[in-house]
Amino acid sequence: MHLSVLALGAGNNIFGWRLKDSQAGSLNLGLLTHIIKTAERGKFDFFFLADALNTGANVHPSWTVRYEPLTLLSYLAGQTSHIGLAATVSTTYTQPYNAARYFASLDFLSGGRADWNVVGGAFPEAAANFGNVPHPPHPRRYAIAREFIEVMKGLWDSWEADALVMDKESGLYIDPEKMHVLGHEGEHFSVKGPLNILRPPQGYPVIVQAGASEEGRALAGDTADVIFSVVSTFEESKAFRDDLRARAAKAGRNPDLLKVVPGIFVMLGESEDDARARLAELGTMIKPEVGMQVLSNFFGHDMSVFDLDGPVPDLPPTEMMQGYSVILSDMARAKGLTLR
């Protein structure tokens, strides 16, 4: 069994931070350190930080303000010894040369524990923080991501594993025969290389993805080591896993090496009744108007026009209604849930 923890400083529930005994805060370094050390003692495989490049009043509290993931993980690498360190970095709003350096550095600092969660960047609002270029449509973001991964791997291959010689007698520091210029010229990126850091201890950091759309599954089957999933039944889980393994096999990869990690929200209590009571208490903390704002941001629709006690509507496609947004809305309708 592979376990990871999605660390959200203000909690997974949008108003969990209101509980009287909660310790919350996305910039609470002591809390985040406590979480990762607890996960490491519990034999978890990796500690995961989600991220996006925008904020606002309608953003989940845990994402309103937060540390830059690679900076935080570089600190936490020194507080831990063996747990994996997974950071989200966008392929749409980052340059592959910089990203390759970041992850290689984290891999060295942590002794080979870096994981990269590959995202195209779902939120169109992020585009305004990076100039006047419009947010790329969904298929184009995945095309960019595919080339980005190719460039990253090429840069990590800039140096062979034994390129660093440091021969004091001959004066040879680096063996130039073991340095390789990438010279990539593609549709989206032009990167000469080589990378100015040696090959990471892992070779390639672990590649994590969470795409559930057709483009997302295609990219995951070709490139990912770990896939996050949101499913509600055993049958759906198995179908999702089988589909990804088939795609990996078609790409010439060993399908058994691809690991699917389903998302689980765990409510703890002294007993089942106690856990249910705590879940009910969480429900009383939510301010409906704020919850609807966050839901609107998640779906890319103004949800305030719908009845809070009415059924979850069958929403038309938007840039946000891709993959998991569609899965979750379908799941909610199948279970007869109201928006409340």
**pLDDT the model gives residue 232:** 73
**pLDDT the model gives residue 46:** 97
Residue 217 inside a domain? The answer is yes
The ranges of the chain with pLDDT < 70 are 319-324
C-beta separation of 59 from 297 below 8 A: yes
Residue 13 inside a domain? The answer is yes
Residue 154 inside a domain? The answer is yes
C-beta separation of 50 from 6 below 8 A: yes
C-beta separation of 11 from 22 below 8 A: yes
Q: Which of the listed residues 212, 246, 262 is the one where a domain comes to its end?
A: 262
Helix (H) or strand (E) holding 185: strand 184-185
**What are the structure tokens assigned to 52, written together?**
């996006």
**pLDDT the model gives residue 303:** 86
Residue recorded with tokens 């055993």: 234
Q: Which amino acid type is present at position 162?
A: D
Query: Which of 238, 144, 153 lies closest to 229, judged by CA?
Result: 238
Residue 271 inside a domain? The answer is no
**What are the structure tokens assigned to 158, written together?**
């800039």
d(CA 42, CA 194): 39
How many domains, in total, are found in the chain?
Answer: 2
Residue 47 CA: distances (Å) to CA of 63, 87, 175: 17, 9, 36
CATH code of the domain covering residue 215: 3.20.20.30
The phi, psi pair for 75, rounded to 5°, reads -70, -45
**What are the structure tokens assigned to 65, written together?**
């303000």
Shared-domain flag, residues 110 and 242 = yes
Residue 103 CA: distances (Å) to CA of 86, 88, 161: 10, 11, 16
Residue 269 inside a domain? The answer is no
Shared-domain flag, residues 184 and 324 = no
Q: Which amino acid type is present at position 176?
A: P
Shared-domain flag, residues 246 and 295 = no
d(CA 221, CA 253): 9
- The CA angle 179-184-189, to the nearest 5 degrees, is 135
Residue 196 inside a domain? The answer is yes
d(CA 56, CA 60): 9
**pLDDT the model gives residue 174:** 94
Shared-domain flag, residues 317 and 194 = no
Reduce the DSSP state of residue 117 to 3 states and report it.
strand
Residue 131's domain comprises: 4-262
**pLDDT the model gives residue 52:** 87
Residue 117 inside a domain? The answer is yes
* Strand bridging mode 4-6 / 46-49: parallel
Residue 115 inside a domain? The answer is yes
**pLDDT the model gives residue 296:** 84
Summarised one tens digit per residue, pLDDT across range 8-19 is: 988 888 888 998
d(CA 149, CA 100): 9
